[in-house]
Structure 1
Amino acid sequence: MKYFVIFKLFNYKTMKNKMKLLGLTMMITVLTFVAIGAQAISLDKKTDIEERKSAVEERRNEKVCSRIDDVLTRLEKKIGKKNGEDKLKERVQIRTKEMEENRAKRDADLSERREVRDQNRDVFYDKLKAKAGEDSAKKAAVEKFKTAVETAIKTRREAIDSAKKTMNAGIDRAIATRETSVETFRNEFRSSVETAIDKAKSSCENGASGEELKSVMTQLKNDIKTARENYKAKVSEVKKVQESIQTLREVRKESVKLAIENFKTTMKAAQEELRKAMGA
């Protein structure tokens, strides 16, 4: 009886330990599942955050890339407005028309003055002929003087007209060259910017990351800045057409001065010869 009680007591303790072990095992299992579930939730949450970040970055990149195509248009408008080139052709047309009208007016005034002077010289020649009377030597001297004067005047006028024509042609070429050069430089600027844009667009099409895209956009800005500075420097230089025009005017001035000096020299000699012939 004693051994039976002992055995039963031992058996009870064993069962109790087994139950504890089973409970502990179940608790560990539950905790394991809970931990795995929490890890899975955390992983899912992290994945969701990463996906949202990726989506945001993708949208941002798409937005940046979509704006690249508008860069050239916005730059041309900005530069054109800043340099006043949007109205350049209109201004050139107005100035060309005004210049042509002023030239025509000056030519008409000059022609009128010359005609008056021609008439006055005819009156002067008639007076000289009257003074010469019937003296054949004096009459011959008057005719010689008249020929010398008319030849000198013709030579002077031709020299002055040629100098003016050369100046006007030079001014026209300078203005035309300026406008052609500005257009050429603008096309060069457009080509440079288009090349930079194509390079940036290629990076976008190849799926550049956010950091890579930042580098691409920085390079694009630098390329555009260089193209713009080159364009502005060239345009600024070629627009100094006034210096060329001033040089042309100085050349004309010297040519006219020389023509007048030669005329005066010829007239002085003719007048001296006439004076001696007339016995004055």
Structure 2
Amino acid sequence: MIQLNFKQIVVFVLVFVFSVSVFSSLTSAATSTPGFRENICSRLTNFISKMEVRVSEKEQRIRGRHQDGIEKRGEKLEAWDARREERRASANEKMTDFFLKFEQRAQTDIQKQAVAVFKAAVLAAIQTRQAVVDAAIVSFRSEAEKLLAERKSVAETAVAVYKVSQKAAFDKARSSCESGVDPKTVLETLKTELKAAKDKFEVDRQAIEIVASKIRALNETKKAAFDKAHGDFKVALEKAKLDLKAAFPQPTLTPAISQTTTPTLSPTP
């Protein structure tokens, strides 16, 4: 299943970071507004508390959407598998009718044998293709789940480290204010430490992109397996058609064979 929406995580994490304009206004007020020096720490503490509440609420909303996403993805996969089986069943019915028409056309023992060989070859080709496709799907989903779990772990670790650094910066700012440190120094120090935490988070986040590239590579591997399975099936089908033609008079069989397209004889993979 798809795990966490990491772009949303980044958004809610970065909401914590004070903008340059906020720092500039507070710093300016701390140095130029009469009486503001005395209550700057109180205002800073209130501002930090409000930001923490906002981010906590946003985090809860994101996790709620994340859980909904997991459930919806599971439902989509189940629906996709069901549609695939339905298409295969429908194609199997058409294929049975197709084989029946050829069996009815067969007059001699040689022709009957040729139809039997043709039918066996086509069924074997279909089964082989479906087996390859199904195996590719199972492998992709299994490996993708592992990578998604890894990505989730990497992202959550990066977020946790960021939040710890951020909290330390906030706690230090509060403590400095209570200790009588100049408000301008408190704000500038907080700004510097939050930027360092953000920069560290951005570096850690690169590991998430590496995992994402692995998932894309998995998808390409699955697609390559699909393409090869389809290609091998077409080759086997064409050979079976040529062998069948040899046992029947051309005017009788050629039209029917020419209409034997891959979709007709191949249940959806």
Residue 157 of structure 1 pairs with residue 127 of structure 2: no
Measured at CA, do residues 109 and 156 of structure 1 come closer, stay the same or move farther in structure 2, by a change above 3 Å? same
Deviation at residue 68 of structure 1 after TM alignment: 5.3
Which runs of 5 or more structure 1 residues have no equivalent in the other structure?
1-56
Deviation at residue 105 of structure 1 after TM alignment: 1.9
Amino acid at match of 1:162: A
Residue 41 (structure 2) aligns with:
64
The alignment yields a C-alpha RMSD, in angstroms, of 3.8
Deviation at residue 139 of structure 1 after TM alignment: 2.7
Residue 261 (structure 1) aligns with:
231
Measured at CA, do residues 177 and 80 of structure 1 come closer, stay the same or move farther in structure 2, by a change above 3 Å? farther
Measured at CA, do residues 198 and 93 of structure 1 come closer, stay the same or move farther in structure 2, by a change above 3 Å? closer
Residue 123 of structure 1 pairs with residue 97 of structure 2: yes
Question: Is the 1:203–1:216 contact (alpha carbons within 8 Å) kept by the matching residues of 2?
Answer: yes
| Aligned equivalents of 1:67, 1:226: Cα separation in 2 | 20
Residue 226 of structure 1 pairs with residue 200 of structure 2: no
Deviation at residue 113 of structure 1 after TM alignment: 1.5
Higher relative contact order, chain-length normalized (CA < 8 Å, sep 6+): 2
Residue 257 (structure 2) aligns with:
none
Residue 183 (structure 1) aligns with:
156
Output one character per residue of 1:77-118: Cα deviation in whole Å (capped at 9) or x when no partner.
45567xx64422222222222222222222212211211221
Residue 148 of structure 1 pairs with residue 121 of structure 2: yes
TM-score by length of 2: 0.62
Output one character per residue of 1:43-100: Cα deviation in whole Å (capped at 9) or x when no partner.
xxxxxxxxxxxxxx9x948x738965984x544445567xx64422222222222222
Measured at CA, do residues 121 and 140 of structure 1 come closer, stay the same or move farther in structure 2, by a change above 3 Å? same
| Aligned equivalents of 2:203, 2:56: Cα separation in 1 | 14
Deviation at residue 267 of structure 1 after TM alignment: 0.9
Residue 95 of structure 1 pairs with residue 69 of structure 2: yes
Measured at CA, do residues 86 and 174 of structure 1 come closer, stay the same or move farther in structure 2, by a change above 3 Å? farther
Which one has the largest radius of gyration? Answer: 1
| Aligned equivalents of 2:143, 2:68: Cα separation in 1 | 19
Deviation at residue 279 of structure 1 after TM alignment: 5.0
Question: Is the 2:169–2:194 contact (alpha carbons within 8 Å) kept by the matching residues of 1?
Answer: yes
DSSP-derived class of the 1:278 partner: coil
| Aligned equivalents of 2:121, 2:181: Cα separation in 1 | 89
| Aligned equivalents of 2:112, 2:64: Cα separation in 1 | 61
TM-score by length of 1: 0.60
| Aligned equivalents of 1:275, 1:189: Cα separation in 2 | 70
Residue 215 (structure 1) aligns with:
185
Question: Is the 2:166–2:197 contact (alpha carbons within 8 Å) kept by the matching residues of 1?
Answer: yes
Q: How many pairs align?
A: 215
Question: Is the 2:150–2:211 contact (alpha carbons within 8 Å) kept by the matching residues of 1?
Answer: no
Query: Pairwise mapping of residues 15-26 of structure 1 onto structure 2 (< 5 A)?
Result: none
Residue 277 of structure 1 pairs with residue 217 of structure 2: no
| Aligned equivalents of 1:94, 1:240: Cα separation in 2 | 26
Question: Is the 1:69–1:197 contact (alpha carbons within 8 Å) kept by the matching residues of 2?
Answer: no
Question: Is the 1:182–1:235 contact (alpha carbons within 8 Å) kept by the matching residues of 2?
Answer: yes
